[in-house]
Amino acid sequence: MNSPTTHPKKIVIATRESRLALWQAEHVRDRLKALYPDCVVELLGMTTRGDQILDRPLAKVGGKGLFVKELETALLNGSADIAVHSMKDVPMNMEPEFSLVCISDRENPLDAFVSNKFSTIEDLPPGGVVGTSSLRRESQLRARFPYLAVASLRGNLDTRLRKLDSGEYDAIILAAAGLTRLGLGSRIRAVMSSELSLPAAGQGALGIEALASRPEVAEWMAPLNDAMSSACVRAERAVSRALAGSCEVPLGAFGEIRDGQLRLRGFVALPDGTRMASATLTGAPEDAEKLGNELAEELRRQGADEILAALPGLPG
């Protein structure tokens, strides 16, 4: 990869102030300092509406875009140069002022089963209470384990683990990536296969956002981009964008590159798991977004639009 033609003197990173978000921003900061030793790299910590609203499911209050708006404001007013996000929190439809300039190498993209009592989700007895904040996870749990009780779980990672430890849940489902990044991998009792719990679009990947009007920032970030992770995530996001826009719906999309080919799987379902459309396609990594759109069309042929139309009214 070619080196940037100009080196930055200072970069300010906008980040949420949760422990995981700060880890992610610090990770990017350290990589930038290694790339540009003479550059001053600072963090601008911010609290978002998504962090403040903890008493209602995200799907009811505007979706995961609530985690990025304040950070984007910092980009617009010039107080930050870039924002670091978990890719699964980035709305599928971005405003034209902003650009996703980098998707870095991906941590484990799968879901993790966390419990103090049971080794796997199959071990839970009828009526066992499983906590999750995700309609995607809920729909798959209800479809595969209809005898379990699925309960809403909000809060940052530490809060969710504390609720589990206090006995509110028999088990909780979290992204393996977050636990691993914070040194909490020992809490994972089992990593759930993608056949059991298909991940969210972008899960486990970090994205860097900047103003579209600042191409020099995109150039500075280019060395951090991981081509394979980027192809997979962009394909996954294309599926979600085509079917659901930025609405929070029970939808999963997961790409893997095997033998030089991008294998993309996706599903959309009712929250109770009673209806589900799923499909798999394979194509060239360089055609990632085209493949995502084709998978969305295949899901439509299997009834995805009817499933989405049957969902309770959710904000877009």
What CATH code is carried by the domain that includes residue 291?
3.30.160.40
148 shares a domain with 15: no
The active-site residue out of 81, 89, 111, 170 is 89
187 shares a domain with 47: no
CB 245 within 8 A of CB 316: yes
Whether 176 is in a domain gets the answer yes
Whether 61 is in a domain gets the answer yes
Q: Is the Cα torsion angle 180, 182, 185, 191 positive or negative in sign? A: negative
Q: How far is CA 50 from the centre of its chain?
A: 14
Query: What is the pLDDT, as a whole number, of residue 6?
Result: 78
Domain that holds residue 250: 238-309
Whether 315 is in a domain gets the answer no
Whether 198 is in a domain gets the answer no
Q: What is the per-residue DSSP string for the chain?
A: -PPPSS--SEEEEEEE-SHHHHHHHHHHHHHHHHH-TT-EEEEEEE--HHHH--SS-HHHHT-GGGGTHHHHHHHHTTS-SEEEEEGGGS-SS--TTEEEEEEPPP---SEEEE-SS-SSGGGPPTT-EEEES-HHHHHHHHHH-TTSEEEE--S-HHHHHHHHHTTS-SEEEEEHHHHHHTT-GGG-SEEEPTTTSPPPTTTT-EEEEEETT-HHHHHHHGGG--HHHHHHHHHHHHHHHHHHTT---SEEEEEEEETTEEEEEEEEE-TTSS-EEEEEEEE-GGGHHHHHHHHHHHHHHTTHHHHHHTSPP---
If one counts the domains in the chain, the total is 3
Give pairs for 158-165: CB < 8 Å, separation 24+: 158/19, 160/131, 160/133, 161/114, 161/187, 163/131, 164/114, 164/115, 164/116, 164/131, 165/116
CB 1 within 8 A of CB 30: no
User: Per-residue confidence of the chain (316 residues) as pLDDT tens digits?
Assistant: 556 667 899 999 999 998 999 999 999 999 999 999 999 999 999 976 544 444 444 444 444 456 688 899 999 999 999 999 999 889 899 999 999 999 999 999 999 999 999 999 999 999 999 999 899 999 999 999 999 999 999 888 999 999 999 999 999 999 999 999 999 999 999 999 999 999 999 999 999 999 999 999 999 999 999 999 999 999 999 999 999 876 789 999 999 999 999 999 999 999 999 999 999 999 999 999 999 999 999 999 999 999 999 997 644 3
CATH code, domain carrying 80: 3.40.190.10
Whether 231 is in a domain gets the answer no
Question: Is 89 assigned a catalytic role?
Answer: yes
Q: Is the pTM of this model over 0.85?
A: yes
Whether 122 is in a domain gets the answer yes
